[in-house]
Structure 1
Amino acid sequence: MNISLAVLIAVFLLIAVRKIGRFTIKIWQSMTAGALTVLIAGEISWLDALKAIDLDVMLFLLGMFIVGQTLVASGYLYYLAYRLFNRLKSAQQLLLGVLFGAALSSALLMNDTLAIVGTPLVLRLALEHKLSGKMLLLTLAYAITLGSVMSPIGNPQNLLIATHADLPAPFQTFFVALAVPTLINLAVTYLILRWVYREQFSNSLPLIHNPVDLLDPELAKLGRISLFLLIGLIIVKIILVGLHSPIQIKLSHIALIAALPPVLLSPARLHLLKSLDWATLVFFAAMFVLTASVWQTGIMQQQVDDLAIDLTTVPAIMLLSASLSQLISNVPLVALYLPMLTHTDAASLMALAAGSTIAGNFLILGAASNVIIIQHAEKHGATLGFFEFARIGIPLGFINLLIYWGWLSYWYG
């Protein structure tokens, strides 16, 4: 067997079992060990490994981690949550609020952003209302994956599709083609989670929301400024994209600018930087290296060629993008798939956006946002297992794909 592929399979297994004897292995440790193995084995050169690491993604995550940590450490995130959720009176309403709130927010703020700020929030809600933390973590993961489908800035792969294809009206194209099936899929997700975790809702008492005080008012002010900068710059980006302006603002630049107030003005800046989720950044750097090593072998390309199918049809695009995204992540998959689409019509592009994004609802490694959620959860003393995610995610992912495929076939048929 090819060494790179064997290492990737071993990493998958380690992430699934998470333990060897008495030793617990974290996700970032498994991925880092895999990357170091292919480097030492000479499967990928050190120069190619460095080139494989997406600097924009790394800088975006760094900036958002700083903003997220500022909101959490100051208590401003929980203060906002109280203001948003204090009118919800039942567990069912809270589940719906998290599901649809996170989904709609991810369409504007990007799914990775919601993964960063949403994880400590849902864990606090679970603790306060004595609900399953795993249920709300899954709700957050599925919500931000689905919500990001219908926006060209909902996730990095959609942005890549929108810019590569030079769509004349990207926001309108994504929304018109994908909003309806997304809302249907959110409703289906609610019903599935409501059924799987039905014991959480049986004889549940009315929710009692405890008022939240700011932990650090001065840091909260800086966090508020960061949040306004983040939202404001994203709105500017939306306007620039809509006007087809030659001026473009990268998401990494937006995140870094939003991170400046606490870094430059807070006396607690060193504590904030020490508290960042550095392990997740290591995970992503290692993931880029390992997946690049696997792709360089050509083994997956050969397998696709052996299928002898038309790669430009809507069903083929959706199935291949959803499946291959489990192995090399959805952003590099989209970058590699786009040149194969000889006719970049809207149906093919929307199928690629839906398939590559919904890959995140199948398995943990199908989306970067899933990894961020789990890594952040472990930082706060919680976790979400590979099999717990998969037992709901695999059937849910197939239902999601069928709904998107049916709608796109109808809409562009």
Structure 2
Amino acid sequence: MTVVAVAVFVIAYVLIATERVHKLLAALGGAAVLLALGVTDSEHAFYSPDTGIDWDVIFLLFGMMVIVGVLRRTGVFEFIAIWAAKRAKGSPLRVMILLTLITAIASAFLDNVTTVLLIAPVTLLVCDRLGVDPVPFLIAEVMASNIGGAATLIGDPPNIIIASRSGLTFNDFLLHMAPLVVIELIVFCLVLPRLFKGSFAVDPARVEDVLRLNEREAIEDRSLLIKCGVVLAAVFVGFVGHAALHIEPSIVALLGAGLLVLISGMPTKNYMTSVEWQTLLFFAGLFVMVGALVKTGVIGDLADKVADVTEGHALAAVMLVLFVSAVLSGIVDNIPYVATMSPVVLELSRSIPDPGQADALWWALAIGADFGGNATAVGASANVVVIGLALRAGTPISFWAFTRKGIVITAITIVVAVPYLWLRYFVLS
């Protein structure tokens, strides 16, 4: 059964990485094969917290998708983008920096895929008005979304998986990841002028057109916007205090979604179209396949080998996890990578006696996966979403156009993360 579990997983993983078939088909197909062959069963696949579908992850994403589906109808994201362009006085570089910062902050509290879906169309509009190539702006925004999303539990899908496996809370992510993200964003903004050198020439007449836009006209429903603001504030408080309240983040998100749907009175079709069913089902199939590896002992054996390589040296283990995660998350989507690696890190952390240094393994995994997702066009789901939006808008982003910039940013962010991990968890702890 072990050989079958590994073979099915590797085949599905290769199909996902190479995009030979749709990733949903690969994940669900792999899960179906494992269930059909008896490698796993319904009890382990659907009910076990260690080897089954993590329903907290599924319903947390679902709840946030519904909330954003309602929020989308207010026009608030269009308002913010136009406001930023005007505050930048039409300077393409300042517009890029403002939009990337807005994207990064929004990604921390909504999730990066949702944020780029909402910001990218507005970026295309602003760039069209300025008469500049939108490709550098879109690439910068998606990279900022992956960096900013790393700050919180809900900002980047890999973080949700890590929190579920490790028991780390929303507050833990804020305390440990947010300080690094702030540093990384400062460095990122300083690098932008050189990274996209030659992309900021603009016609003064075009600038005047942008300055004449009225951002207030973008708000379509002020009453709904107020309701969304109140509910989002309550949801955020629930996320921050969920440990003290003994309520899981998934329940907070579902309660927030239900309340917002109730008070908005919005037709079901208006917000349910924002639910990415394919993403949720992809997660489900992936959890079943990884659970089969846990059930057959593959994950435990792999963790033992990693522990042998590092010879129980906590710092070596942390750096190994960081660099391997950064490289592999750039080659394949960071979601399946983290789903596979998190059980390994869980086993590895148990071999480290110091709790703080054991937790550093999880932060290394999160940093490597989140920042490593910037390396290539297929490294993170947000990358794929933005490339698709750009293609439909007639401004395609090639794999190498993205990757040439992505490798540079990934290298810089990982280099910055190394002293942070070393100082915080091994020198100052």
TM class by smaller structure: 0.7 to 0.9
Identify the residue that residue 211 of structure 1 maps to in structure 2.
214
Question: Match for residue 43 of structure 1?
Answer: 39
What CA distance in whole angstroms lies between the structure 1 residues aligned with 2:353 and 2:223?
50
- Name stretches of at least 5 consecutive residues in structure 2 with no aligned partner: none
- In the alignment, the residues of structure 1 paired with residue 317 and residue 151 of structure 2 have an alpha-carbon distance, to the nearest angstrom, of 20
2:147 corresponds to 1:146: yes
CA distance in 2, matches of 1:34, 1:304: 23
Kindly state the Cα deviation for residue 251 of structure 1 after the two structures are TM-superposed. Answer: 1.9
Task: Tell me how far 1:196 sits from its aligned partner.
Answer: 4.9
Change (3 A) 1:344 1:334: farther
Aligned partners of 2:150 and 2:181 also within 8 Å: yes
Distance 1:68 1:377 in 2: 21
Question: Which of residues 337, 345, 353 is equivalent to 1:337?
Answer: 345
Q: CA deviation at 1:45?
A: 2.3
What is the aligned partner in structure 2 of residue 270 from structure 1? 269
Displacement of 1:161 in angstroms is 8.7
Q: Which residue of 2 aligns with 1:31?
A: 27
- Compute the displacement of 1:58 (Å): 1.2
- Could you say which residue in structure 2 is the equivalent of 1:185? 184
Separation in 2 of the partners of 1:197 and 1:251? Answer: 38
CA distance in 2 between counterparts of 1:290 and 1:301 reads 15
Q: What's the CA shift string for 1:95-127, capped at 9, x where partnerless?
A: 2223333334445x26x2x43134221232134
CA displacement at 1:157 relative to structure 2: 5.8
Q: Is residue 156–residue 331 contact of structure 1 (8 Å, CA) maintained in 2?
A: no
User: What is the TM-score with the length of structure 2 in the denominator?
Assistant: 0.73
Q: What is the match of residue 22 of structure 1?
A: none
Aligned length: 393
Calculate percent identity across the aligned residue pairs.
19
Q: Which amino acid aligns with 1:283?
A: F
- In the alignment, residue 405 of structure 1 is paired with which amino acid? V
Letter in 2 for 1:371: S
Identify if the C-alpha distance between structure 1 residues 4 and 378 changes in structure 2 by more than 3 Å, giving closer, same or farther.
farther
Q: Check 1:379–1:139 CA distance in 2 against 1; reply closer, same or farther (3 A cut).
A: closer
Indicate whether 1:408 and 2:421 are aligned: yes
**Residue 129 of structure 1 aligns to a residue in which SS?**
helix
Per-residue displacement from partner, 1:295-353 (whole Å, max 9, x unpaired)?
Answer: 44444543443352235513412422663675854367446534525434434424531
Q: Cα gap change, 1:17/1:96 in structure 2, threshold over 3 Å: closer, same or farther?
A: same
Report if the CA contact (8 A) 2:318-2:361 is conserved. Answer: yes
In 2, are the aligned partners of 1:359 and 1:397 still within 8 Å (CA)? no
Give the secondary structure class of the aligned counterpart of 1:200. coil
1:355 maps to which residue? 365
Closer/same/farther in 2, CA of residues 233 and 74 from structure 1, 3 Å limit: closer
* Aligned CA distance change for structure 1 residues 85 and 147 (closer, same or farther; 3 Å): same
Structure 1 unaligned spans of 5+: 20-24
Q: CA deviation at 1:65?
A: 1.1
CA offset at residue 148 of structure 1? 4.6
Distance 2:397 2:32 in 1: 25
Instruction: Return the alpha-carbon distance in structure 2 between the equivalents of residues 377 and 405 of structure 1.
Output: 30
CA distance in 2, matches of 1:263, 1:327: 29
Alignment map for 1:309-388 (pairs within 5 Å): 309-311=310-312, 313-320=314-321, 323=324, 326=334, 328-330=336-338, 333-334=341-342, 337-338=345-346, 339-363=349-373, 370-371=380-381, 374-375=384-385, 378=388, 381=392
Checking the alignment, whether the CA contact within 8 Å between 1:16 and 1:385 is kept in structure 2 is: no
Instruction: Show the counterpart of 2:278.
Output: 279
- 1:15-30 maps to which residues of 2 (within 5 A)? 15-18=16-19, 25-30=21-26
Task: Find the aligned partners of 1:49 and 1:132 in 2 and give their Cα distance.
Answer: 47
How far apart are 1:190 and its partner, in Å?
Answer: 4.1
Asked if 2 retains the 8 angstrom alpha-carbon contact of 1:115 and 1:370, the reply is no
Contact 2:35–2:41 (CA<8 Å) still a contact in 1?
A: yes
- Structure 1 residue 101 and structure 2 residue 105: aligned? no
For residues 59 and 190 of structure 1, the distance between their equivalents in structure 2, rounded to whole angstroms, comes to 34
CA contact (8 A) 1:229 1:257 kept: no
Partner residue, 1:228: 230
Gap change, CA 1:223 and 1:278, over 3 Å in 2: farther
Q: In 2, are the aligned partners of 1:152 and 1:171 still within 8 Å (CA)?
A: yes
Q: Which residue of 1 aligns with 2:117?
A: 119
Contact 2:150 2:370 in 1 (8 A): no
State the distance in 2 between where 1:105 and 1:271 align.
22
- Give the residue type in structure 1 aligned to 2:423: Y
Question: How big is the shift at 1:129?
Answer: 1.0
**CA shift at 1:87, angstroms?**
0.8
What CA RMSD, in Å, does the superposition of the two structures yield over aligned residues? 4.1
SS at structure 2 position matched to 1:201: coil
Distance 2:67 2:372 in 1: 29
**Residues 1:248 and 2:261 are matched in the alignment:** no
Contact 1:185-1:403 within 8 A present in 2 as well? yes
Q: Secondary structure at the match of 1:86?
A: helix
TM-score (norm 1): 0.75
